Every structure is written in structure tokens, then in C-alpha cells.
Structure 1
Amino acid sequence: MSEQRDLLYSEEEEALRAAVRDLLTDHCAPADVITRTESDAPHDLALWKSLAESMGLAGLLVPETHGGQGATHREAAVVLEELGRAVAPVPYLTSAVVATEALLACGDEELLGRLASGRTIGVLAVGLHRAPGADFPAVRLEGGALHGELTGIADAAAADVLLVPADDGGLYAVSADAATVTPQTSLDLTRPLATVALDGAACRRIGAAEPAVRQALRSAAGLLASEQLGVADWALTETVRYLKERRQFNRQVGGFQALKHRLAQLWLEVVNLRAAARAAADALASGRDTDVSVAVAQAYAAPVAVHAAEEALQLHAGIGMTWEHPIHLYLKRAKADSLAYGTAGAHRTALAALVDLQAP
């Protein structure tokens, strides 16, 4: 008989949520995020410093012996929920999860300590759209230096160090100053993409690329579901609040039966998403049924987050269409996340193979 899994939030996780939400409420107002997306500096590095250095959240997945907090993916998932609720423009997923997991797989203690402190931002130079287990491009290693170009790298503009896969099968650490980082047109401006070009960049081998990238992308896909949960939960909560306040024909808009049905359906989807996201985070933390739990979460999360943001946009009516209202940030994040670390279809295909469910 399999061990029962407790997916409820612990007191410590709820306390962590409250602390992160308070910080984001004070320092990540929607108007400020919109202003940043229209500037040349979309990343909020002051907020990152508060999260990473002051609160120690950059090192949640790093063992205490390497300068981290020694927490689990469950705690990281709670942080990502709140970051999703605020569409916070910080490189938490890319540095504190993806790059950190790659370094944990390689066992590079020196870089782990730097990322755990929050003073160094690391980015794995693999396209944001790559699914766990999928092939990924590598640059050329020649004469002890790296040559080549990689595209679709999330948060590369904020990176201090890049983790770059090479054609010899190794993963190499490269100073971001040694690379040419060119912004790409991105749908989600709160998590901008860039092209990374290397022309004889000095590098240091930190381990084998394939297992490190696989581990990093699997954790990224699993914890991305928690960010998508945050996006969907914000959309539902704000839409309910707005419809209670908005009046038309001398009655609350939220009192119309058709809208109640739409909100009830969305509530059910968000509740199910919470269960799937929590299961993925718990599986990553415990090592039980990890691949299946991650595939289930991502197969379900993307459509729900997109649907929630679309419903929020429609049910806010005219005001939701304005650039000043933050709904467009959530819709863009939901749409971009639906392609990140594998589409829902890719994860359904992976899930079918994992449970030996063949197509008719």
C-alpha cells in the first residue's frame, strides 16, 4: 500500500506565503510592473534583492552546508504561487530553481553558494520552450572556449553567470560579461527572452550537461504549475471582487446567473489546478512518482491559467481592455507559460508513455 501524501499547506508554508505576499504588496504594485515592462529594465532587481538576500529565498533548494536554506520544492512552490499572483518581474524561477537544480546535479558547491546568497543570478542557457527530456542545442567547444548562439533564453539579460551546454556533452559556467545578450521580442515582458551569442568565451566545466539539464527542466516544469496557479487564482479572485462591486441595470453584475455559472466552473478548475500543482511540488520534494506528477500538473495547468486570464479579461469588460489595468500582464504570462518547459500536449504525450497508455 502506497504512503499517503499530505498536500495541505503546513503552518510554515502558510507563514512563508504571508511574508512573501506582504513584501510583494508593498513593493510590486501592478502600476509599477506595467511601467517596468515599458522600460529598458524590465527586471526589478531591488525586489529580487529583498526576496533573495533579505528573505533568503534564492537558496531554498540549496542545502545548508552550501549556504542555502535546506528547504524543499514545496516551499519553493509557495513562493512561486505568490510571484505568479503578482507577475513579479524577478528571475526566481530561472535562477533559484532552474540554474540551481542544474548546479545541484553537477555538485558545484562554489556556484551554488553564490546563487544561494542571491548576489549572483544564474541562468541555464536552454530555450524556455524546451520540455524535460527533449533534445536541446549546444554550442561548440574549441580551444577551451565556447562559440555559438542560443535563442529563447529567459532572464538572460539579468544573469551574472550562464550555464551553457557544449557539444562535448559538458555543462560550462560562463560569465555573462563574456557573452553578447540581445533581447528578443517576448510576449511576456515580465520574463523577457534573449539570444546569447558566444565568440570565444572563457568557460569552466562544471559537469555533464544531459542529466543536469534534464533535472533542471523537470523541476522547472513541476514548479511552473505553482506559478500558473498563482496567475489563475489572482484572475479568479479579482474577477469575483470586481463583479461584486460593478453594477448594471441597478444590480450587481455578479448576481447574473450566467456569470455565476462561469465563475463556478472557473473555481472548480482552479481548485483542481491547486491539487495538481501541490502534487507535483510534493513529488519533487519526496522523489515519489515525480515524472508522472509533473506531467499531470503541466498537462492541466496551462489551459486553466489561460482560461482564467481570458475570463478575467472578458468579465472586466471595457476596463479590462485598457493598458492601465494589469489583466494583460496576467494573460501574457499565462500564454507564455503555456509554452514554457513543454506544452500541455507534449506533457500529455509524455504522460501516456509513462503510464503505458497507447493512442487508439
Structure 2
Amino acid sequence: MEFVFTEEQAMIAETVKGFFAEHATSERTRKAMAADGIDRDLWSAFCAELGLAGIGIAEDLGGAGLGMVELAIVAEAAGSQVAALPLLGQAMAAQAIASGGSAAQQGEWLGKLVSGEAIAVYASADALDLADGKLSGSVSFVMHGGVADLFVLGSGDSAWLVRADAAGVSVTTHTTMDQTRPMATVTLAGVAGDALADGAAALAAARQAGWVIAAAEGLGVAQASLERTVAYAKERVQFGRPIGSFQAYKHRLADMVIEIEQARSAVYWAACAVDEQSDEAAIALHSAKSFAADTAFMCAGNMIQLHGGIGFTWEHDAHLYFKRARALQSMLGAGDWHREQVATMILGAAA
């Protein structure tokens, strides 16, 4: 597949890269980490001013009418700055409602999500029990669960909308490694959920969006790790010469470049395959999520080591990238699980 951004996509990439570079600063991200994990001013500008929260939603539903490629472009730019936004969970929730919600459910929620008026997050909730139309059980690892207004919970082939302020809902927040994406446990005790009209379609759309965004964020983390390390290699001098001139150092940087270029191909192959409803979409998604997340972890780890002592300090941003990369590896299916899906698709029963 030969893939090149269209003129419009290139313009979006330039716009979002500049937006996050200017506004998702280290100072603002650290301030958000000390609060609830969201840079509220950044989120407001992201949604209301640029309209980026609706980039993967159809125009007749209030979105921008663009696809997964454009969403990946935005996610890559956000990942490159480790932006403190509820982008991943919100996009998964919005895609679920757009694909599987009734007209009433779409009308009630999508406008609020696109504008930033409300925050919704998606979570897999296979341990939920349904009795007499009421949901009970505990849902772990809910992204930004402590600040969400709406939970989209998927279980089996069904999905429900659950308001955070509904009777019987309790939320326990946790301190997690990636403080830009805090997790929570949501407990339901006889809660009246609003079942989505087509649960299977909702879950499929949420997972596709989640894997594309997580992979694209990983690509952004990896690219930024490389660029920051290259800049440091030109500035830091040892034995009278820049450390980037030493062969061993250059080899590590070259390894990062190779992995990043492969990850970039995987990410945009997956996004394009989803947009084109290609038969390759499933294998592309699993490949992109596993490869890009592993690449992010490798590059972020190298960033710390190649910065020497300063890279291990709290004052340096390298740890922000490392924590985001490690979190991406484990969420929405670990790399081993995704690779098993790829093996099964290729080898069938032999896998």
C-alpha cells in the first residue's frame, strides 16, 4: 500500500502539531497531573475552538465527518507532547454511541461530547451482572473515571450508557503510573443503564478507535523521544566533542529511527484500512497496537538512558514519556495478546 497524506490531512497534521507544541507544555501537563489529570483549558480549546473532539464523527451527527486517519494524526500529535486530555476514552465512547446508539441516545450525548460540555469514557465491563434491567458489578481500570459524566460500558455483545451521577454508582480513584491518564474503579449496585441499540456495533467501533488512537499516541511518544534525544546529543559535550558523534550513541539513535518508521507504516495502514473497510483492518489494528506501543516503550527507555543522569530525574520530561509508553503497552490488550490474534488470523488452527 502506498500511502501519502492528502493536502487536507497534511494541513490538519501541521495545525495539531503546532497546537500541542504551543499549549501542551510540560508546566501545564505537570499541573494537570497534580489535579485530576486533565488540562481543562487545553481540553476546552481542543473541543470548542478547533472542533477536534468530533473529528471521527459523521457530520450528520454533529462531527467533522472525517475518519480514522485524521483521528490518528491528532492522536500522534497529542502523544508527542504527552497531552493531559481524556482523548482516548472520550473518542471510544463517542464512536460507540455514533455506531450503536439510537437516534435519541446520539442526540442526547454526541453534541455534548463534541463540544466538550461532557466527558464520556469507554470501559470493558465483562464482570457486570444484569438482573431486572439493573446493572451490578465492578469495572476496573476506567480511564479518567473520576471526572467522567458518562460511562459507556461494554460486556459481551451489549453496551450500556451509565450516568456518573446515577443512583448506585460509586467511583474510586487510584494513583497510577501515568498520571496524565488516571484510572478508577467504577462500582455499580443495581444501576439502571441505558442499553445501546446495537451493542455489537458499538463495541466494534469503540475498540477500533481505541487501538488506532493508542497506536498513534505511541508513535507520537516514540518520535518525540527520538527528536528530544537527538537535540540533547548535539548539545551535550564529553571529551571535547558532542556525545552524538560517538558511534555507540549513533547506533542507538539509528535503531530508534528504524523502529519508528515501521511503527508509522503500521499505524497509518491500520487507520486507512478501517476507513476503507478493508478485509485487512483486523490484522492491521492488532499489528499497529502491539508494534507502536512496543516502539514507544523502546524509544522512551532509550531517551532516558541516552540522556544520562538528568534523564532519570523528576525535573526532566523523559519520565512522562516513559510512563505513557508503559501504560500504552498494557492497556486495550497487551502486545502478546494482539500478536496472538495476528498469528491466529494468519495460521488459523495451527496457531
Instruction: Report the TM-score range of the alignment, normalised by the length of the smaller protein.
Output: over 0.9
Deviation at 1:205, TM superposition (A): 2.0
Whole-Å separation in 2 of the counterparts to 1:305 and 1:327: 12
Whole-Å separation in 1 of the counterparts to 2:317 and 2:209: 28
Task: Choose 284-293 or 27-36, whichever is displaced more.
Answer: 27-36
Is 1:262 aligned to residue 257 of structure 2? no
Q: Which amino acid aligns with 2:120?
A: G
The aligned residue for residue 62 of structure 1 is: 57
Aligned-pair Cα RMSD in Å: 1.9
Whether the 8 Å CA contact 1:31–1:324 is kept in 2: the answer is no
Q: Deviations over 1:62-82 (max 9, x none)?
A: 111111110010000000000
The aligned residue for residue 148 of structure 2 is: 159
Q: Is the partner of 1:114 in helix, strand or coil?
A: helix
Deviation at 1:357, TM superposition (A): 5.8
Q: Which amino acid aligns with 2:165?
A: D
The aligned residue for residue 99 of structure 1 is: 93
Whole-Å separation in 1 of the counterparts to 2:290 and 2:188: 35
Whole-Å separation in 2 of the counterparts to 1:257 and 1:125: 46
Question: Runs of 5+ in structure 2 lacking a partner?
Answer: none
The aligned residue for residue 204 of structure 2 is: 214
Whether the 8 Å CA contact 1:139–1:165 is kept in 2: the answer is no
Whole-Å separation in 2 of the counterparts to 1:258 and 1:53: 47
Structure-to-structure mapping, 1:79-158, within 5 angstroms: 79-96=74-91, 98-108=92-102, 109-110=106-107, 111-126=109-124, 136-158=125-147
Q: Is the partner of 1:237 in helix, strand or coil?
A: helix
Q: Is the partner of 2:330 in helix, strand or coil?
A: coil
Whether the 8 Å CA contact 1:163–1:173 is kept in 2: the answer is yes
The aligned residue for residue 68 of structure 2 is: 73
Percent identity (aligned): 35
1:7 to 3, 7, 10: 3
Where has structure 1 moved over 4 Å in runs of 4 or more?
357-360
Q: Is the partner of 2:299 in helix, strand or coil?
A: helix
Whether the 8 Å CA contact 1:74–1:285 is kept in 2: the answer is yes
Whole-Å separation in 1 of the counterparts to 2:50 and 2:127: 35
The aligned residue for residue 241 of structure 2 is: 251
Whether the 8 Å CA contact 2:123–2:142 is kept in 1: the answer is yes
Q: Deviations over 1:253-291 (max 9, x none)?
A: 100011111111111111111111110111111111100
Q: Is the partner of 2:146 in helix, strand or coil?
A: helix
Whole-Å separation in 2 of the counterparts to 1:358 and 1:202: 41
Q: CA distance change for structure 1 residues 295 and 144 in 2, over 3 Å: closer, same or farther?
A: closer
Whole-Å separation in 1 of the counterparts to 2:79 and 2:69: 15
Question: Runs of 5+ in structure 1 lacking a partner?
Answer: 127-135
Whether the 8 Å CA contact 1:68–1:117 is kept in 2: the answer is no
Structure-to-structure mapping, 1:196-345, within 5 angstroms: 196-288=186-278, 289-345=280-336
Whole-Å separation in 1 of the counterparts to 2:185 and 2:152: 14
Whether the 8 Å CA contact 2:75–2:217 is kept in 1: the answer is yes
Whole-Å separation in 2 of the counterparts to 1:215 and 1:354: 20
Deviation at 1:144, TM superposition (A): 3.7
Q: Give the TM-score of the pair, scaled to structure 1.
A: 0.90
Deviation at 1:44, TM superposition (A): 1.2
Q: Deviations over 1:178-220 (max 9, x none)?
A: 2221112311111111000122333322234344223311331
Whether the 8 Å CA contact 2:69–2:271 is kept in 1: the answer is yes
